[in-house]
Structure formats: structure tokens, C-alpha cells
Copies of this chain bind each other. A is one copy, B any other.
């Protein structure tokens, strides 16, 4: 078989490790590979690059993706799906390995239904994909955020201050939950549990009263319970929700006003997405890539590779994209044990 590989969606440490492993295993099983560049844009526009062992031999430890990425969706491009089929036919491509998040895998699911041989590999630093215990990239991102919190602690303590750290996660609080727990944050705010800003201020004040500094870890998608969030530039959205990316600053301002102590927010942003993957992510990504090549080899299409316990299993692509995996209440209870003084 000739197998096409593409990476879609946001940058994520471990993408190159998946590509490398799939190419190695698939080649060993007798197949050939072609790289499609820029996510789904690649097969739509027929943009390819060579993808044999030589090209991927030394990329295991490199962040990013040698195939480049995009957020192009063939179902939102006129004639996108037909173009993919036509280009695959022209290039003699029998199957696709699509590495991506909810959107990319959703496309892979639909394409499978539309007769294109697809296998999916789950990717998101947000860890919010269903049917897999963890996604690669998450561990790296959590380590980066944890190291940032470690650093912020020394400044918070030296200046007897509160510092707010805003962590990625629009719809799910996994990164903030894990980095908050690992960094010993005193308040952890995630999209799954609406927060009460008065309670947050009281928690910080209680710690100031006990001569203690405070770290507040907040997901970019966390929401105020009473819809009272006001954007820093004066706008309020229709639902009283703060603009994404602004919640940390808003909370810092509220704490400053509420406690009388200058409180700053640090937005970690894109530094959480890049760089060399941790060992955990390299191992997970490699195992997923090996399994993806085997699934294609066996003609087991329409499947997503998934981590379950310590095993790599294959699950239906529909399962993976059925719903967002959010933080369960019990896991939030665990970090709450460390709230307060």
C-alpha cells in the first residue's frame, strides 16, 4: 500500500514521534509513505513531500511537525472531499493516517463513511478527547506549566503576593487541574466548575492574613458563576463571559481591588505548545504511530488508536469524537483539598 500521512490542528509536542514510528513500522511491513503538507490542505491541493525513513529518522525529539499543519476542513471547502479522493487516486494513495484533534478526527470519521480509508491518531495538549486515557502533548504542556508555577512561587513568596497564572484549556480544565496540583496552586479554576470571584478573593485574603503568598491557576476558558466578568477593554459579552485569554487578567484585577495588594497575571500562551516532548509523550506518540501502521496494514480503517491503561487499543473514530472529555467532579475535589491556608 501507499499510505498518506497528515497532521492537523494546533501544534503539539509528539507529532513527529508519531510520524516517525508509523513510517518505520509501515515500511517494515512493506508499505510506502507520502507526506501531505499543511493538514487537510495537503490532500485537497495535492501538496506532498517525501516521507521515507531517511526523512523521519532524526525527528523523534523535535517539537512541531515536519509535515506542517493547518485548520483546513475539507467539508468546509467547495469540492474538498472530491479533491481528496481525486488526488489520492492520482498519487496512488490507498489509505490515510490522520493525526489531529477533534476536528481532524471528525473529518477522518466522515471521510471513512464517504469511502476513504482512514486511520486516526488522537492529538491535543488539552487532553479532552474521548476514548483515550491521555493524549500526547498533554504531559509536555503540563510540565511546562508546572515549571512556570514553580518559578512564580519564588516571586510570589519573596514579595508576599498573589500571582494568577492563566493556562490553556478553553473547554476542559485538564491542563490547569494537573499543573495546578503539580505546582501546588492554592486556587484552581477550570471551565467545568464556575467560580465565585468573591470566594476567590476571600481565599486569597485568608492567606494574606496568615502571611502566605498565593498562586491562582486558571484555565483560559474558566467562567464566573454570576456572569459578572467584565472585559478589560470595557466590553461584556452577551453571556457575561469574559473574552478568552482575558479571564486571568480580570481575576488579577479583582484580587488587586478586593485585597488592596497588587496582583499580576501571567498568560503562558503558546510556550505550552512547543518544544521537545517529554519521555512520556515520546513513548505514547511512538506507540500510537506503531499501532496506526499496523491498523492500516490490517485494513482496520475507521479506527482511532487509543491509550487505555498501559495498552494501545483501537476504538471507533465515532467514539473518539462523540463528546468532549471534561474533568469529572471527583478529580476537582482532589485539588480542592489544597485550597485555603
Contact = CB atoms under 8 A, between A and B. Distances in A.
Interface of A: 7, 10-11, 13, 15, 21, 24-25, 28, 38, 60-65, 68-70, 133-134, 139, 142-148, 150-155, 157-160, 163, 178-179, 181-184, 232-234, 264, 266-271, 273-276, 278-280, 282-283, 286-287, 290, 308-310, 334, 337-338
Contacts of A274: 150-155
A154 B66 CA distance: 9
A217 B278 CA distance: 18
Contact of A270 (B28, B179, B264): B264
Nearest to A277: B182
Contacts of A145: 279
21 contacts: A11-B155, A13-B154, A24-B338, A62-B154, A64-B153, A68-B157, A139-B279, A142-B280, A143-B279, A150-B274, A151-B274, A152-B274, A154-B275, A155-B270, A163-B270, A179-B279, A181-B282, A181-B283, A278-B280, A290-B337, A309-B309
A163 to B, nearest CB: 6
For the complex of A and B, the 3 pairs showing the least CB-CB separation, nearest first, are: A64-B154, A63-B154, A151-B274
Determine which residue in A13, A15, A134, A146 has the highest number of CB atoms from chain B within 10 A of its CB, and name it. Answer: A146
A45 to B, nearest CB: 14
Contacts of A275: 147, 150-151, 154
Interface-central residue, A28, A154, A157, by most chain B CB under 10 Å: A154
Nearest to A13: B154
Contacts of A264: 269-270
The oligomer's copy count stands at: 4
Contacts of A178: 279, 283
B68 A159 contact: yes
Of the candidates A11, A232, A233, A264, the one having the most CB atoms from chain B within 10 angstroms of its own CB is: A11
Contacts of A179: 279
Contacts of A184: 60-61
A157 B64 contact: yes
Contacts of A280: 139, 142-143, 278, 280
A5 B206 CA distance: 29
Contacts of A146: 279, 282
Contact of A69 (B13, B153, B159): B159
Nearest to A7: B158
A198 B313 CA distance: 36
Nearest to A142: B279
Contacts of A133: 309-310
Contacts of A276: 150
A13 B182 CA distance: 13
Contacts of A267: 266-267, 269
A266 B266 contact: no
B11 A159 contact: yes
A233 B150 CA distance: 32
